[in-house]
Amino acid sequence: MKLFTVKKIKNSHQLFDEKNILIGEKIAGFWSGINEKLKIVNQYLTIKYSGFLFYDIKFFDTDEKLVIKIESSKSRLFYYGPNSTEVYQFRSYGFFRSFFTLHRFEDDKEVIRFKKENLFLKIYIRWTLMMILIII
């Protein structure tokens, strides 16, 4: 099992691996929700929100090609890779839903597990940083 660390620096959240190497970063814009970006190594993804109460989150690359789509209402995540589309489903477990897991849709294998706090913002940030792990 790999251990990742999230650090908040000014208006961004950075994801580090076990060797303290920067893997990715969520960069917030001047105003919350406007011009947010996700940086993975040398690739930048633009974050756009849609749907009722902005429940759907889409990540676009520099060519405006859809890379990741999160459907929060149906607990699904789509990753549009170079050769195929991968579908994941996220679930909550435990007392007060303290564990957040991501499962591959085809074989129901657990891919990522987070222990979450009861703060909405921290859960959202973890969703975003989870995208970094899927793309890598």
- For residue 94, give the nearest of 116, 127, 125 by alpha carbon: 116
Whether 113 and 126 have beta carbons less than 8 Å apart is answered as: no
pLDDT one-digit tens code per residue, 123-136: 555 556 666 666 65
Q: Give the max Cα distance, the chain.
A: 43
Residue 129: DSSP 8-state: H
- For residue 57, give the nearest of 24, 82, 90 by alpha carbon: 90
Q: Is 132 helix (H, G, I), strand (E, B) or coil?
A: helix
9 token code pair: 């620096």
pLDDT one-digit tens code per residue, 35-67: 788 888 788 888 887 766 667 888 899 899 999
For residue 81, what pLDDT band results from cuts at 50, 70 and 90? Answer: confident
> Side chain identity at 15, as an amino acid letter?
L
Give the residue extent of every domain in the chain: 5-135
E strand or H helix at 37: strand 37-40
127 token code pair: 């969703």
pTM of the model: 0.71
CA distance 118 to 19: 28
